Amino acid sequence: MSKKSDEAKIPKGRVSRFTKLGGMASKIAGNVVAQGVSELAKGNRPKLKDLLLTPGNVKRVADQLAQMRGAAMKVGQLISMDAGDVLPEELTELLARLRSDAKSMPKQELTELLEQQWGENWQSQFIQFPMQPIAAASIGQVHKVITQDLKRLAIKIQYPGIKQSINSDVDNVAGLIKLSGLLPKDIDVKPLLKEAKAQLHDEADYLLEGKRIEQYSILVDNDDAFLMPKLEKSLSTDTILAMTYLDGEPIETLVDSEHSVRNEVIEHLFRLFFKELFDFQIVQTDPNFANYLYDHEQQKIVLLDFGATRDYEVEMAQGYLDLMQAGYDQQRDNIEDLVFSLQLINHKLPLQVREVIFDMCFEACEPLYTEGVYDFAETNLLQRLRDKGMALGFDKSYAHTPPVNTIFLHRKLGGLFLLAIKLKAKVDIRALFAPYVNKTIITEPSP
């Protein structure tokens, strides 16, 4: 693939971005009609879903949203992660593509942006500033640079117009997905969309993320398993985030490493998750594998990207601690009570639906009540939960959306589980949780 194909000018303004979506919808509609006529001529009676989700249409939607980036791309990521258990497989597959597809800014656009933020002589601050990014995502792209004083920095640069487009993009993309008819009618995505907007505004505030980096660095400062970048305040703005560049390989490449390394990495990450929720009440909720690197030389995990870091109230943290302990002790009756108190479900649901959800919550605690190491390579837990979730997702009696902080927490935990499966780790999760048994959380979130 040529370098040119990795670049795309970002449409700015509500009208131009809406037009992009409208043009895409028109092309898809034209393809549906043409394909439908062709199938009818053959004597077939095709379903609308089959006409919508042709390979060409799937690629068109994913490519268009990837070019628009920002909320247009991120809302697909959020819905695919949060409702993945109840979406049709084809739509989940389409949205999942957005977790990796992104285009970088054209060099001229990048240069203009840097001049606006750092002034016309911005290049004098660097010995090396490659215009080609080392990574491009939904909100910004990252460049590896060397400053005049020989510091190696990672510079995250936000795409222009992203902040202004967040609300309209979320609404437009949600509308497009709704019009497709592929989203089950009983899924209430309004709370998700509202929170998607709030979360995206936070992620687009690089000054806020800079504060989160400093805050989180203090929390893990004495933990030898992890490395954190240091904020470079002199070069950071509300749309540029500068921090030390840390070496490391993508975490998923450890699949070829020794069993001991893979097991240790997953052990540390689950241990950190328990500390985040039960000790810090501050959780980095983005489950993207790209947020972790592994430094083989130092044998440490590099933690990256704190835009999705969220504070959790002590009451919710205690509720999850109690829920996990009920699973740890295999006390299903206690789990039922805690599921209600955490607002995971409500009392209006039919008894048979509630029973299925209780079973799912208890089953999800399997790593906690399993004595000894839990073999992520052999488990089929996710498939079991997905099968039950699919059945609930299309049951009209189940139309409940839990608190948004709960959804983000589940995303993080689900992401860790998927990484553990990918690395085929064997970890004693029960032993990692043991220090929190019978604990009462009394501390407030750290400042």
Whether residues 313 and 420 share a domain: the answer is yes
> Looking at residues 7-19, what average pLDDT do you find?
49
Question: What is the pTM for the complete model shown?
Answer: 0.79
Cα of first residue to Cα of last residue in the chain, in angstroms, is: 46
Q: Does the residue 223 lie in any domain?
A: no
Q: What is the pLDDT of residue 78?
A: 52
User: Would you state the pLDDT for residue 28?
Assistant: 41
Would you place residue 355 in the very low, low, confident or very high pLDDT band (cuts 50, 70, 90)? confident
For residues 177 and 280, membership in a common domain is answered with no
Which one of 202, 217, 234 terminates a domain?
Answer: 202
Say if residue 157's pLDDT is above 70: yes
In a domain, 214, yes or no: no
According to the model, what pLDDT value does residue 74 have?
57
Confidence of residue 84 (pLDDT cuts 50, 70, 90): very low
Residue 197 sits in the same domain as residue 339? no
Tell me which of 227 and 195 has the higher pLDDT: 227
- Does some domain include residue 229? no
Helices of type H across 53-161:
55-68, 70-82, 89-96, 107-118
Task: Answer whether residue 6 shows pLDDT above 50.
Answer: yes
User: Residue 71 — pLDDT band, cuts 50, 70, 90?
Assistant: low
Q: Is the pLDDT of residue 148 over 90?
A: yes
> Is 97 within the bounds of a domain?
yes
In a domain, 112, yes or no: no
Based on the domain organization, do 96 and 16 belong to the same domain?
Answer: yes
Give a yes or no: residue 234 inside a domain: no
**277 vs 24, more confident:** 277
pLDDT at 219: 93
pLDDT value, residue 25:
44
- The reply to whether 226 falls in a domain is no
Same domain (yes/no): 295, 173: no
C-alpha distances out from residue 333 to 259, 403, 436, Å: 37, 22, 20
Same structural domain for residues 262 and 351?
A: yes
- Is 118 a residue whose pLDDT tops 70? yes
pLDDT score, position 408 = 85
- pLDDT surpasses 60 at 97: no
Q: What does the pLDDT read at residue 353?
A: 82
In the predicted model, what is the mean pLDDT of residues 162-179? Answer: 73
Evaluate if residue 311 carries a pLDDT over 60.
yes
d(CA 134, CA 422): 24
Mean pLDDT, residues 288-308 taken together: 93
Residue 47 reports pLDDT greater than 50: no
- Cβ neighbours, 10 Å, residue 308: 21
Over residues 427-435, the mean pLDDT reads 97
pLDDT tens readout for residues 364-392:
999 999 999 999 999 999 888 878 876 76
Q: Are residues 190 and 255 in the same domain?
A: no
Q: Report the C-alpha gap between 166 and 160 in whole angstroms.
A: 12
Decide if pLDDT at 115 tops 50. yes
Which has the minimum average pLDDT: 29-33, 223-227, 232-236, 311-315?
29-33
For residue 293, how many other CB atoms are within 10 A of its CB? 19
In this structure, of 54-58, 411-415, 430-434, the range with the lowest mean pLDDT score is 54-58
Domain boundary among 172, 202, 232: 202
383 and 314 belong to one structural domain: yes
β pairing state of 300-303 and 226-227:
parallel
Between CA 433 and CA 267 the distance in angstroms is 11
| Same domain flag for 180 and 254 | no
Among residues of the chain, what percentage have pLDDT more than 90?
47
CA distance 63 to 295: 33
User: Is the pLDDT confidence value at 80 over 60?
Assistant: no
Q: What pLDDT is stored for residue 170 in this prediction?
A: 77
Q: For strands 135-136 and 140-147, give the pairing.
A: antiparallel
Q: Which of 170, 186, 202 is the last residue of a domain?
A: 202
Comparing C-alpha atoms, which of 370, 380, 362 is closest to residue 417? Answer: 380
Alpha helices in 119-238 (DSSP H): 162-179, 190-203, 206-219
Instruction: Give the chain's length.
Output: 447
Residue 290 CA to residue 292 CA, distance in Å, equals: 5
Task: Please state the rounded mean pLDDT for residues 94-116.
Answer: 75
**Number of domains the chain is built from:** 2
Binned at pLDDT 50, 70 and 90, residue 176 comes out as low
Whole domain around residue 390: which residue ranges?
250-447
How far apart, in whole angstroms, are the C-alpha atoms of residue 425 and residue 434? 19
User: Do residues 166 and 298 share a domain?
Assistant: no
Residue at 140 is within a domain: no
Check residue 267 and give its pLDDT. Answer: 98
Q: Give the pLDDT of residue 7.
A: 60
**pLDDT value of residue 288:** 83
Which helix (H) or strand (E) is 349 found in, with range?
none
What is the average pLDDT value for the chain, to the nearest integer? 79
Alpha carbon of residue 309 to chain centroid: 11
Task: State whether 267 and 179 are in the same domain.
Answer: no
Average of per-residue pLDDT across 239-263: 95
Given this model, what pLDDT does residue 290 score?
A: 86
**pLDDT at position 172:** 72
**Residue of 359, 285, 347 lying closest to 316 (CA atoms):** 285
**Residues 168, 90 share a domain:** yes
